[in-house]
Chain A
Amino acid sequence: MKLRNKEKDVIALLNKAQRENKHNYITEDKLKLTAQEAGLSYSEVYGVATFYSLFSLKPRGEYVIQVCDSGPCHLMGSKSIFKVLEKELKIKVGETTADGRFTLEEVSCLGICNEAPAMMINEKVCGNLTPQKIREILRELRKKK
């Protein structure tokens, strides 16, 4: 009994390609390779890669900070969270710091609305954010090599 062919699952292949890249993105070479592996055209794979918000075709920072701005987080003050992050990192939403360490992004609901406002850093979720808590989190991340 066998389910679909996992080796040809484009979304899983792209996910893996992005995870293995230290700049958290999918390179053009990987897109081409994925197309070959999945038996699809380059344009089809490009279409998939650009549809989903968790994929990036641009190099990103070592830490991708994704802040939620959907209803509950917006209500609980996500705008001020963006302001603090923009000020601390000296970048705007969608940009990466010059040292290549941090990228700031806006995302849709992360499903932790009981701890709004919330954000996700790479695979880690942080809730009940306050300006002070954000500064602490950034201080910890900056210490890491």
Chain B
Amino acid sequence: MIKELKSPLRVVLENYGRINPESIEEYIAQDGYEAVGKVLREMRPEQVLSEIKASGLQGRGGAAFPTGLKWEFTAKAKDAPKYIICNADEGEPGTFKDRAILEGDPHKIIEGMIIAGYAVGAHYGYIYIRGEYLLSINRFNKALKQAREHRFLGEDVFGSGFNFQIEIHQGAGSYVCGEETALMESLEGKRGNPRFKPPFPPSSGLWGKPTLINNVETLANIAPIILKGSDWFRTFGTKKCPGTKVYAISGHVKEAGLIEAPMGITLREIIIDYAQGMRDSKFKMAQVGGTAGAILGEDMLDVPLDYASLGEKGLVLGSGAILVMDETTCALDMLECFLNFFKRESCGKCIPCRVGTEKLLELATAISRGEGKEDDIDLMLHTAKVMQKTSLCALGQSLILPISTTLKYSREEVTEHIKGRCPTGVCKI
């Protein structure tokens, strides 16, 4: 059980820690599967689509694409069969929200997938769960079995004539498989190399068929929206980014854990009100959105953490991971750690990313050992910019963000290493 920090608001996590996740009866007692019943008995697929569109829900995996629009594109695709995929390959460092949802409330995801299937005209669903999440896989397996026994899955659900099946695919360790097209390659039993886009999944996805792929947290929002309506959903969050967000807090805070809060909460509020403040030392910086996310300094403590507000500043909310770092942290040491991660996880398909991640790590390592040159900093920036423009997928493209924002706040600190001194004493020079 992941520690859940005091969250007054519950949409996605409404059942988390409150019901036995292995009991479908307890889920049903919380209005579980009511949304599926409502959709199948009272609504036409177009009505479901317009409700989701009206809610303004955006993809919670990090890209923030309007969910309703994605559903509509898939619904309009002519080819058949169509597929639904739940992306549960949560690999972004610092993120553990999808694991919590899967472990704590698996039926909510099944419900979201059935509704998505009905809305876009798909009868097959896959959930791709990363291989490291064994408890999630076991819980989901049990939930699927129960849902089949209760005939929420299978043929003629709720006597509506609608058929829907879900199968689990277990990952085998690969960060890049969280990228939607890489995930589909992997699901097809191949190496998880991303594909060229377009075509996009709604027209050509799994086995070349129209595919709707949504993140776990996105799907967890579906049943509540259907039951309580899009107007209710819009009472949370901001106008541009309605709803709540599950943020995952880690690092130098008193209390690490998960919170569900309205979109647009600030970093200061999260650290002070939820995480009970800094643990030992003063705040230095935070990385928001995972390892591919930006470093935010003290001047950003009051920026609303939603897709639009951060997007305006060229930053990202990503998965909602927040890694808080205090003054004892060496910015360069962390950057080296981020680059080591990217180097290890680059799939090797495209040259900019395969070579670039390697070179960037070499440069950062040289600097951290006191062997760097003054030009190396600009060379890192230049390399990351080229990668941003030429890499095939987000892995190579997004690396510029942690590098440029680290340098924005800590360029002097990095330069000190070149002169032979690590200001925090973390790096051994």
A89–B134 Cα gap in the complex (Å)? 26
| A15-B252 in contact (CB<8A) | no
Cβ–Cβ < 8 Å partners of B163 in chain A? 1
Instruction: Verify if A112 is at the interface (C-beta below 8 Å from B).
Output: yes
Interface contacts (Cβ under 8 Å), in number, total 140
| A74-B94 in contact (CB<8A) | no
Q: Closest chain A residue to B426 by CB distance? A: A79
Partner of B191, one of A3, A51, A74, A76: A51
Instruction: Verify if A107 is at the interface (C-beta below 8 Å from B).
Output: yes
A106–B170 Cα gap in the complex (Å)? 21
| A108-B341 in contact (CB<8A) | yes
- Check A114/B3 contact, CB under 8 A, given A47-B191, A120-B132: yes
| B93-A51 in contact (CB<8A) | no
| B2-A70 in contact (CB<8A) | no
Cβ–Cβ < 8 Å partners of B189 in chain A? 8-11, 38, 48
Instruction: Verify if B283 is at the interface (C-beta below 8 Å from A).
Output: no
- Check A54/B173 contact, CB under 8 A, given A9-B189, A114-B248, A114-B256: yes
| A108-B133 in contact (CB<8A) | no
Q: Closest chain A residue to B163 by CB distance? A: A1
A67-92 interface with B by 8 A CB criterion: 69-72, 74-76
A109–B189 Cα gap in the complex (Å)? 23
Residues of B within 8 A of A (CB): 2-3, 90-96, 99, 123-124, 126, 130-134, 155, 163, 165, 167, 169-175, 186, 189-192, 248-252, 256-258, 287, 290-291, 321, 323, 325, 329, 333-334, 337-338, 340-341, 344-345, 347
Q: Closest chain B residue to A114 by CB distance? A: B256
Tell me, rounded to whole Å, the shortest Cβ–Cβ distance linking B205 to chain A.
Answer: 14
Q: List 23 A-B contacts (CB under 8 A).
A: A10-B189, A11-B186, A38-B189, A51-B347, A52-B131, A53-B172, A53-B173, A54-B171, A69-B337, A70-B93, A70-B337, A70-B341, A71-B93, A71-B337, A75-B325, A76-B250, A108-B91, A109-B91, A109-B92, A113-B248, A114-B96, A116-B250, A120-B132
Cβ–Cβ < 8 Å partners of B250 in chain A? 72, 75-76, 113-114, 116
- Check A72/B191 contact, CB under 8 A, given A12-B170, A15-B172, A114-B248: no
Cβ–Cβ < 8 Å partners of B333 in chain A? 74
A113–B174 Cα gap in the complex (Å)? 18
A44–B188 Cα gap in the complex (Å)? 13
Contact flags A7-19 to B (C-beta < 8 A → 1, else 0): 0111110110000
Tell me, rounded to whole Å, the shortest Cβ–Cβ distance linking A106 to chain B.
Answer: 8
Cβ–Cβ < 8 Å partners of B3 in chain A? 114
A10–B192 Cα gap in the complex (Å)? 13
Interface size on A, residues (CB 8 A): 38
Taking A3-B124, A110-B132 as known contacts, 12 extra A-B pairs with beta carbons closer than 8 A to each other, sorted by chain A number, are: A1-B165, A3-B165, A4-B167, A9-B169, A15-B131, A48-B190, A52-B174, A70-B291, A71-B341, A75-B250, A109-B94, A116-B251
| B172-A55 in contact (CB<8A) | yes
| A108-B134 in contact (CB<8A) | no
| B191-A123 in contact (CB<8A) | no
Cβ–Cβ < 8 Å partners of A55 in chain B? 172-173
| B2-A71 in contact (CB<8A) | no
Cβ–Cβ < 8 Å partners of B131 in chain A? 15, 52, 54
Partner of B338, one of A15, A48, A71: A71
- Check A108/B93 contact, CB under 8 A, given A38-B189, A72-B323, A113-B256: yes
Most buried by A among B124, B323, B334, B340: B323
A69–B191 Cα gap in the complex (Å)? 24
- Check A1/B251 contact, CB under 8 A, given A15-B131, A114-B3: no
| A108-B345 in contact (CB<8A) | yes
Most buried by B among A12, A72, A76: A72
| A3-B341 in contact (CB<8A) | no
- Check A114/B249 contact, CB under 8 A, given A48-B189, A48-B191: yes
Instruction: Verify if A111 is at the interface (C-beta below 8 Å from B).
Output: yes
A53–B173 Cα gap in the complex (Å)? 5
Tell me, rounded to whole Å, the shortest Cβ–Cβ distance linking A101 to chain B.
Answer: 22
Q: Closest chain B residue to A71 by CB distance? A: B93
Cβ–Cβ < 8 Å partners of B347 in chain A? 51
- Check A71/B172 contact, CB under 8 A, given A8-B189, A113-B93: no
Cβ–Cβ < 8 Å partners of A112 in chain B? 2, 96, 99
A13–B192 Cα gap in the complex (Å)? 16
A10–B187 Cα gap in the complex (Å)? 10
| A109-B192 in contact (CB<8A) | no
Tell me, rounded to whole Å, the shortest Cβ–Cβ distance linking B287 to chain A.
Answer: 7
| A123-B323 in contact (CB<8A) | no
Cβ–Cβ < 8 Å partners of A108 in chain B? 91, 93, 173, 175, 341, 344-345
Cβ–Cβ < 8 Å partners of B191 in chain A? 47-48, 51
| B134-A123 in contact (CB<8A) | yes
| A54-B92 in contact (CB<8A) | no
Cβ–Cβ < 8 Å partners of B344 in chain A? 108
Q: Closest chain B residue to A13 by CB distance? A: B189
| A53-B174 in contact (CB<8A) | yes
Q: Closest chain B residue to A9 by CB distance? A: B189
Tell me, rounded to whole Å, the shortest Cβ–Cβ distance linking A113 to chain B.
Answer: 4
A93–B28 Cα gap in the complex (Å)? 48
Tell me, rounded to whole Å, the shortest Cβ–Cβ distance linking A108 to chain B.
Answer: 6
